[in-house]
Structure 1
Amino acid sequence: MNSDALYYILANIVAMITLLCLFIGNLNHGDYHYKQYSMNHLLIAVILLCGQDIFWTLVDHDIVPKNNTTFILANYIMCVAILYVCGAWLCYTQTINGKTDAHFIKRVKTIIGFYVISAIVLAPVLFIFQDFWIQDGRPIMGLYVMIYAFAIVTFFAISSISIRLLVQRENYIHRKTYIINALSPIVALGFGFIQMFTVEIPLMCSGLSITMLLLVMSSLLFQNITDPLTGLMNRNGLRKAIDRIEESSKVSKHEHLLIMVDLNDFKNKNDTLGHLKGDEILVNFASAIREYTNKTDNKTIVCRYGGDEFLIIVKNANDKSADEFKTILEDLLRSREETKDVHFSAGYVMWNGTLSTFDNKLSAADQLMYKDKKYNKSQNLMNGN
């Protein structure tokens, strides 16, 4: 083995150790489930790809014999790496689809189940019947179908989810995220298809590397406009949404409803029950608002404005929409076990969609919300609560 190959192997080993340290650190210090699971799956995929690079270097220098077994083993390692990329992408896709932590955990358990099943089924089939899969020194098409079938189905599922979200106009704030998320699996599939006809060149590694880079870019774009705790839009996303509403208002003169919502007695609950319980209340309330937007026909924008304050913009609304909002949301909170004791105050004003009037209207809604909060507090005192 020459010095270049030795340095290449050492560099991959150092990279694997570094990534392993990051993986262990992320296990202990990951903040929210989707970030933790997505990043862990991505780190494992890169570690496996580094391991495959070392393996192929040893094969090329005749340290490991080049035969059907080594070829199938290399593809099998690649398959597992792809499955981990799929795992990362599925966790992340659940996030942009507005799912909760419980959905992430359930989905990840399903993915791990697929890993185990694929390992149990594929390994004996591939290694026992080697001569069937490798003929005249080249793999038959069935080998690729066998190894990469689950990954291909998963990539198509991820891409179709993102395309569906992309065409929904209410999701235009995440447009760049959805475009990258929809195109990236196609990049991986394209490289994989070319790989079938160019066995000697490891194009699939390049395709996976680009795919993982795009996944990180997509995740960063999403996090820039998303509140990490609730998954709702943050202020950055709100500003982008307002800009788009102003553009559409130049064409159509529709009125929009601004609703400022604040949770009653949240500070007291946060101080007495603890911050973790406070976070749980915020997440459950955000989930209820998201369910409300799914039940209504309105194109509704929901933003966690700060702390326990939420801003809701009901597009193309009228004065009756405010009363409908409060009634539907209160009924929804009462019907859910985790939010039946959560109460809120709200202030709302009509807005014409122009940027110049937004801050004044928002301030007016905020003042009305505090009046409603004061009224609710006095009613509770009168009732002895």
Structure 2
Amino acid sequence: MLFFDMSIIAKYNKLSAKMDSTLTFYTFANALGLVIVGILLYFNVSRCDFQVKRQALTELFLSTMIYIAIDIPWTYINHGLLLKTTLTQVASSYVLAIAAIYLISSWLTYSFTISGKTKFDFKRFLKVIRIIDISTFVILALLMFINPDIWVEEGSITLLFYIIVFGPMLLTLGFIGTYSFIRSGQKIHYARKREYRLNGIGPFVLIVFTIFQMMNNDSPILVYGMIVSMLLIFLSVILFQTARDPLTGLNNRNQLERIITNIGKEKQTDKNYILVMVDANDFKHVNDKLGHVKGDEVLQCIAETLISVCQKYKERPLVCRYGGDEFVLFFKDTREEEIQDLQELVNAELARRLQGFNVSVSIGYAFWNGDMEQYEACFSKADENMYAKKKKFKD
């Protein structure tokens, strides 16, 4: 037993002698990164938010942790702390490259969820991303294992590896960041302007840290960049969670009132806004007959239908869930004739998506010039027009 204990101590001392202060610091930084991102992952899983967005962010945090975890043995192999041969170096580099690709594709998927796309669009996009990922894994395996000598030169990973792996990574990060900043400046995304800006900062932070990492491979600079980027993303989620409806992912009543208040502060009463009230017909019957779980699914489908139909407008409206089975659309710079067939379009799309459910909506609207003193009257008028449509439906 004593011999066994002494052998463990001897192995530990041998390993400690090999590890200089730089590698010790590198290990500590990666461990810290795993802990911090792990905490973010825990809070994200347990929080209440739109399912698709929470799922995408969970995968982003998980892919970040996988990359950080794989980076530790990769570094040990390349510094001789673990078995260092051409094969182990190429194999560990291949696994690290897969982790990097997965991280970037997860980031790209998450950026897609904040663009207001429907669940159907998200699933279709996710399939495309998965096909690209798998194809890249296969091609990279062929490139790296058919001729492993071109990836390792005199015991060190060649520049070609960093260009192949980190080059596309930097380009994709630049695309995500630029895409977010462009959308933050577009009028149709005025409700999510600050969210897009915050999500645009993270990729550029990681780009800077990645470049410094490539210049100094022995320092854990990239890990710190990942920590900062993930904290920025999670901060944006927490800051704007109060503006989102957790069931449908739409803007909620608070966000609508915040935007209306900001417009009122401009004190311009010559604007042309249209406030549209949307209410599901006989929704109580859906809950009573099919249960609240199916009722929630119907509400999600109504939300996705409203988003889908509103994409045809040049100036897309703010789409909100006001409460229960009531929704609000807020149009800017839109003419009345453009929305006169809105109810027919929404109900036709609902009939296609919810075959056999017999779900429809009633829609009423009113005009608002931007004067806060007239907003309540405008809201009441839209509500009154909507209930007039509901009465016709019941009759």
| TM class by smaller structure | 0.7 to 0.9
Give the equivalent residue in structure 2 for 1:228. 246
Offset, 1:313: 1.7
The CA distance in 1 between the partners of 2:156 and 2:207, in whole Å, is 20
Matches within 5 A, 1:1-150: 1-2=15-16, 12=31, 19=38, 32-53=51-72, 56=75, 63-65=81-83, 72=90, 75-123=93-141, 125-127=143-145, 129-135=147-153, 138-150=156-168
The CA distance in 2 between the partners of 1:349 and 1:103, in whole Å, is 31
The CA distance in 2 between the partners of 1:330 and 1:102, in whole Å, is 18
Give the equivalent residue in structure 2 for 1:383. none
The CA distance in 2 between the partners of 1:332 and 1:104, in whole Å, is 18
Offset, 1:309: 0.2
Alignment-mate amino acid for residue 43 of structure 1: L
Alignment-mate amino acid for residue 326 of structure 1: Q
Q: 1:207 aligns with which of 202, 222, 225?
A: 225
Say yes or no: does 1:338 pair with 2:357: no
RMSD, matched Cα: 3.9
Q: What number of residue pairs does the alignment pair up?
A: 373
Give the equivalent residue in structure 2 for 1:246. 264
Give the equivalent residue in structure 1 for 2:199. 181
Offset, 1:71: 5.2
Say yes or no: does 1:276 pair with 2:290: no
Offset, 1:255: 3.0
Say yes or no: does 1:195 pair with 2:213: yes
Say yes or no: does 1:285 pair with 2:326: no
The CA distance in 2 between the partners of 1:73 and 1:89, in whole Å, is 25
Say yes or no: does 1:295 pair with 2:312: yes
Cα shift readout 1:254-282 (whole Å, capped 9, x = no counterpart): 23222211110111112212223222322
Give the equivalent residue in structure 1 for 2:172. 154
CA gap 1:204/1:303 in 2 versus in 1, 3 angstroms:
same
CA gap 1:149/1:56 in 2 versus in 1, 3 angstroms:
closer
The CA distance in 2 between the partners of 1:375 and 1:248, in whole Å, is 38
The CA distance in 2 between the partners of 1:63 and 1:140, in whole Å, is 19
Bigger CA drift: 348-357 or 51-60?
Answer: 51-60
Offset, 1:90: 2.5
CA gap 1:106/1:315 in 2 versus in 1, 3 angstroms:
closer
CA contact (8 A) 2:188 2:315 kept: no
Give the equivalent residue in structure 1 for 2:393. 376
CA contact (8 A) 1:68 1:134 kept: yes
Comparing both chains, which one has the higher relative contact order based on Cα–Cα distances under 8 Å and sequence gaps of 6 or more? 2
Offset, 1:330: 4.2
Offset, 1:350: 2.0
CA contact (8 A) 2:70 2:96 kept: no
The CA distance in 1 between the partners of 2:32 and 2:187, in whole Å, is 47
- Normalised by the length of structure 2, the TM-score is 0.78
The CA distance in 2 between the partners of 1:103 and 1:237, in whole Å, is 24
Give the 3-state SS of the residue equivalent to 1:253 in structure 2. Answer: coil
Identity %: 29
Offset, 1:49: 0.6
The CA distance in 1 between the partners of 2:33 and 2:115, in whole Å, is 37
CA gap 1:338/1:322 in 2 versus in 1, 3 angstroms:
same
CA contact (8 A) 1:257 1:322 kept: no
Bigger CA drift: 284-293 or 325-334?
Answer: 325-334
Offset, 1:85: 2.6
CA contact (8 A) 1:122 1:147 kept: no
The CA distance in 2 between the partners of 1:302 and 1:201, in whole Å, is 47
Offset, 1:324: 4.1
Offset, 1:91: 2.7
CA contact (8 A) 1:173 1:240 kept: no
Alignment-mate amino acid for residue 229 of structure 1: L
Give the 3-state SS of the residue equivalent to 1:295 in structure 2. Answer: coil
Offset, 1:139: 4.0
CA contact (8 A) 2:50 2:246 kept: no
Give the equivalent residue in structure 2 for 1:382. none
Unaligned runs of at least 5 residues, structure 1: 380-385
